[in-house]
C-alpha cells in the first residue's frame, strides 16, 4: 500500500491530475467509461465511471434495482489548497522573472515559502472542432519556482508574527535576468515552456490554468518510520482509500458508488462540486434505467447511505488546548468519526453506530472528533451530499498534523485501517 500511496501522492499535483489518475485506476479495474451526453446501457454487475471536469463518479450496479436495495456511497474530494499562478501577469521585476498568485482555498501561506516549487496544470488548445477544444494536462517535473522569504535582517519582527499579503508577498520567482528571454514577452515565455512540456504548439493555446506545487516527494518519517509526510494528504488519501475499496468490491444487491468531488476547498458550489446536482442526477438516471417507477427514486434514497471521507485535525503536541481532550484524535489511533451539533459535519446516530461496528469488525479502533465549544470546525462534502440527496450521511477521515500546510503529516496505519473499513462497507 505504501508504494501505491506515495506514487499516487507524488503524481497528482492538481485536482485534474487526481481525477485522471483515479479514472485510469478505475478503468484498469474493469470500469467502463461513460459519456453523459450519450444513452447508457447499464447491466447488473456492470462497472462504470464518468468524469465532469476534475470530478469523478464510479459505481458497480447491484443485482437488485436501486429502489429495492439503494446505494452505498463513499465520497472524497480531488482538490487541495493551492496557489494559482496569474500567468498573464508574469513580468520582469527588479531583475527577476516573477509571477503573482491567486489563492485557492485556505493554504497556510508561510509553508509555501522557500520551497522547491514547480508548475502543473492544464492547457486548453485548439482542435479540429472549434466548439470542442482539447484539455491537455502538464507537469513541470523539475523545480522551477520559489517564493522567497524576506531575510530576518530586513524584518526583525518576522518571528513575532507576520501577516503575509497574498498580493504583495507571495510572488513566485521563475528566473533571473530579462536577457534570458531573448526578446520573448514574459507571459509568452511561461506559456511556451508549458507547451513544450505538454507536447503542443504554443500558438494553439486558448486558455491555461497553472498551479504551483511542492516537488518534494512523499516520505516516511519518525524514529519508527510509522508516520509519513507529503503534500496534499488532505484529501488525496481520501480519494485513494475510496478508490481502492470500490475496486476491490464484489457485486452485491446494492449499487456501490464512489464520488470524487472537485472544489471542496472553495465551498463546493460549482457545476462539479458537492453543492450541485451532480450526484443526484446520476442516481436518478441509474434508477430510471432500471425501469422502475417514479416512486423508486425516493425509496432508493431511503435505503441508501453515504460515507464522506475527508481528513481530520489530529491532536497537536504544541497546541493541545485547541482540542477538547475527550475528542482529540491521535495519529496512529485509527479512523476518525467527525461530529458537530450544527451539522458542519454530516451525521446520524444510526449510521455513526454502523461505522463504529465496521471498525470493530475489521479489528481497528475508532476515534472521535468533536470541536471545542468555542471553536467552529471546518466542513466537508458530507453536508452537501446529504442535503442534495436526502441520504443519511456521516463524515470520517484519518487524523493529520498541519492540515492545509504544503506539507502534512499522517500515520500509514490509519490509511490502511480506513481502507479496510471502507472495503467492509462496500462488501
List domains and CATH numbers for the chain.
2-80+231-426 (3.40.630.10), 82-214 (2.30.250.10)
Contact indicator for 233, 217 with CB cutoff of 8 Å: no
Check residue 103 and give its pLDDT: 98
pLDDT, tens digit (0-9, with 9 covering 90-100), for 248-298: 999 999 999 999 999 999 999 999 999 999 999 999 999 999 998 889 999
pLDDT, tens digit (0-9, with 9 covering 90-100), for 348-383: 999 999 999 999 999 999 999 999 999 999 889 999
pLDDT, tens digit (0-9, with 9 covering 90-100), for 295-322: 999 999 999 999 999 999 999 999 999 9
Mean pLDDT (the chain, rounded): 96
CA proximity to 36, closest of 49, 22, 27: 49
The CA–CA distances, whole Å, from 277 to 49, 285, 316 equal: 17, 12, 37
Amino acid at each position: 500500500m505504501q508504494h501505491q500511496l506515495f506514487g499516487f501522492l507524488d503524481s497528482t499535483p492538481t485536482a485534474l491530475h487526481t481525477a485522471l489518475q483515479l479514472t485510469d485506476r478505475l478503468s484498469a479495474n474493469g470500469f467502463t467509461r461513460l459519456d453523459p451526453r450519450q444513452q447508457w446501457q447499464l447491466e447488473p454487475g456492470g462497472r462504470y465511471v464518468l468524469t465532469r471536469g476534475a470530478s469523478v463518479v464510479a459505481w458497480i450496479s447491484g443485482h437488485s434495482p436501486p429502489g429495492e436495495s439503494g446505494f452505498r456511497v463513499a465520497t472524497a474530494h480531488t482538490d487541495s489548497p493551492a496557489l494559482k499562478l496569474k500567468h498573464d501577469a508574469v513580468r520582469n521585476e527588479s531583475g527577476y522573472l516573477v509571477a503573482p498568485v491567486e489563492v485557492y482555498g485556505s493554504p497556510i501561506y508561510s509553508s509555501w515559502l522557500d520551497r522547491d516549487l514547480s508548475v502543473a496544470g492544464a492547457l486548453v488548445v485548439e482542435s479540429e472542432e472549434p466548439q470542442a477544444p482539447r484539455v491537455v494536462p502538464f507537469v513541470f517535473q523539475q523545480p522551477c519556482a520559489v517564493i522567497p522569504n524576506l531575510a530576518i535582517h530586513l524584518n526583525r519582527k518576522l518571528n513575532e508574527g507576520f501577516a503575509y499579503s497574498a498580493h504583495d508577498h507571495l510572488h513566485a520567482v521563475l528566473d533571473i535576468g530579462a536577457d534570458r528571454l531573448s526578446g520573448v514577452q514574459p507571459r509568452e515565455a511561461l506559456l511556451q515552456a508549458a507547451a513544450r512540456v505538454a507536447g503542443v504548439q504554443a500558438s494553439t493555446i486558448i486558455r491555461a490554468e497553472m498551479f504551483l506545487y511542492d516537488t518534494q516527494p512523499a516520505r516516511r518519517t519518525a524514529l519508527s518510520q510509522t508516520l509519513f509526510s507529503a503534500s496534499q494528504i488532505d484529501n488525496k488519501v481520501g480519494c485513494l482509500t475510496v478508490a481502492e475499496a470500490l475496486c476491490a468490491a464484489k457485486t452485491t444487491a446494492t449499487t456501490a458508488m464512489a464520488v470524487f468531488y472537485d472544489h471542496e476547498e472553495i465551498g463546493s458550489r460549482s457545476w462539479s462540486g458537492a453543492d450541485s446536482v451532480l450526484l443526484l442526477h446520476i442516481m436518478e438516471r441509474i434508477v430510471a434505467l432500471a425501469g422502475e417507477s417514479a416512486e423508486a427514486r425516493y425509496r432508493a434514497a431511503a435505503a441508501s447511505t453515504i460515507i464522506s471521507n475527508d481528513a481530520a485535525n489530529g491532536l497537536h503536541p504544541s497546541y493541545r488546548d485547541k482540542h477538547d481532550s475527550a475528542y482529540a484524535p491521535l495519529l496512529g489511533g485509527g479512523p476518525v468519526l467527525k461530529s458537530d451539533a450544527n451539522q458542519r459535519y454530516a451525521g446520524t446516530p444510526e449510521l455513526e453506530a454502523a461505522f463504529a461496528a465496521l471498525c470493530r469488525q475489521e479489528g481497528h479502533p475508532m476515534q472521535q472528533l468533536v470541536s471545542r465549544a468555542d471553536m467552529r470546525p471546518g466542513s466537508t462534502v458530507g453536508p452537501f451530499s446529504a442535503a442534495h440527496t436526502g441520504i443519511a450521511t456521516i463524515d470520517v477521515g484519518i487524523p493529520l498534523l498541519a492540515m492545509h500546510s504544503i506539507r502534512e503529516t499522517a500515520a500509514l496505519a490509519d490509511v490502511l485501517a480506513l481502507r479496510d473499513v471502507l472495503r467492509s462497507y462496500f462488501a
